[in-house]
Amino acid sequence: NPTESAVAVETLDDVPEHVLRGLPEDVRLFPSAVDKTRLGVWATKSILKGKKFGPFVGDKKKRSQV
């Protein structure tokens, strides 16, 4: 339908390089299960409860902002 606006889909090209480099070994970015136009964070294997990884790089957001 030509009257509908095109929906931009987020891709890996939109992700800053430092974010990709900072991902833990068993975490990947793939299309979100919640919003198909966005990327989501997916684990390639189970992550044990309490597992920590970092350092965090970026802006922290409140739960209500995500």
pLDDT tens readout for residues 14-58: 998 888 888 888 899 999 999 999 999 999 999 899 888 777 767
pLDDT of residue 2: 53
Predicted pLDDT at 63: 87
Q: How far is residue 66 from each of residues 12, 21, 44, measured CA to CA in Å? A: 19, 22, 22
**Which residues are paired to 28 by β-bridges?**
42
The rounded distance, in Å, linking the Cα atoms of 3 and 23 is: 39
